Amino acid sequence: MLLKGKNAIVTGSSMGLGKAIATKFIEEGANVLICARNIKVLFETEKELSTKLSEDQELYSYPVDISKPEDVEHLYHYSKRKFGKIDILVNNAGIQGVRGLVDLADYEKWVETININLIGTVHMCMIFLPQFKEQKYGKIINLSGGGSMNPRKFFSAYATSKAAVVRFTETLAEELKEYNVDCNCVAPGALNTRLLDEVILAGAEKIGEEYYKKVLKQKEDGGSSLENAVELIVYLASEKSDKLTGKSISSIWDKWRDDIPEHIEELKNSDIYTLRRILPKDRNKKWGDVE
């Protein structure tokens, strides 16, 4: 019961990873507000999750398109009426968006990807920040993912938006340190969710033959562990990770279960798990750096 009595919002939580996060939050004792664009699926998820509640827990749902400012504002006021305050904000909502070469991409769809993945995440944070600052406590967890640390051919809008989310998270973390609000990113790995199905549906012509074969194999093999990603998010949402902030952590590539709790004090003042430029000296080169 790591989150007992905490109030949490999880965006994009009608299915996939978001639904798994909301489910685990309930199991850990939290009160949860789930939100997503698809109203029908959202209400079905609320009905399903309501069977998992204990007597003193609350669960609500609210339809939201985070790319629309008015939706985000309405969600904020709804959460205030239902919970009074929010302790945990998980910005999970996102799309793969437009695929294909940059010069052949649909501009409007490219911008839509940025609006949902980046601007939507930023606005969600903006609107809840005054509350977090006033109560001098909070946990913000943003989803980064594929493309945030490496170029991702044929997915320029997605990669750009997710890299920007990481830098935004790092910047926000610096601004919020004095308010005891932790802000981190999670890269959940290659999950077999709706997003994967959308990528496969796009076909090899849009995403490249090599990557198309890779995602087909992922579909067949089962992909990364959904549970592993959820457990990392629960850890970052709990008091066990207090003061750990401004980090981008992979649920599959980082030994977060063992290494982070053991080295948490060291990590607080380190640039480990952050987005940084590689210099020649970082690769043992004797050129390129001003003395």
> What are the residues whose beta carbons fall under 8 Å from the beta carbon of 248, sequence distance 6 or more?
144, 148, 149, 166, 169, 170, 184, 185, 186, 187, 273, 274, 275
What whole-number distance in Å separates Cα of residue 173 and Cα of residue 239? 16
HSE-up of 222 (CA within 13 Å, CB side)? 3
Quickly tell me which residue has 């490496």 as its tokens: 150
What is the value of pTM for the model shown? 0.91
3-state class (DSSP) for residue 80: helix
Decide if pLDDT at 271 tops 90.
Answer: yes
Tens digits of residue pLDDT in 163-200: 999 999 999 999 999 999 999 999 997 665 666 666 66
Residue 38, sorted as left (phi over 0), alpha (psi -120 to 50) or beta, turns out to be beta
Tens digits of residue pLDDT in 192-246: 566 666 666 777 777 778 766 776 766 777 766 789 999 999 999 999 999 999 9
What whole-number distance in Å separates Cα of residue 37 and Cα of residue 94? 11
Please answer whether residues 169 and 118 qualify as being in contact, where contact means their C-beta atoms are separated by less than 8 angstroms: no
Best CA proximity match to 50, nearest among 38, 34, 74, 39: 34
What whole-number distance in Å separates Cα of residue 192 and Cα of residue 145? 13
Per cent of the chain over pLDDT 70 is: 92
Q: Residue 102 carries which DSSP code?
A: G
Q: Residue 177 carries which DSSP code?
A: G
Take residue 221 and report the two structure tokens written for it: 């093999």
Take residue 250 and report the two structure tokens written for it: 């992979």
Is 104 buried (19+), middle (13-18) or exposed (0-12) by CB count in 10 A? exposed
Per cent of the chain over pLDDT 90 is: 76
Tens digits of residue pLDDT in 82-124: 999 999 999 999 998 898 999 999 999 999 999 999 999 999 9
3-state class (DSSP) for residue 6: coil
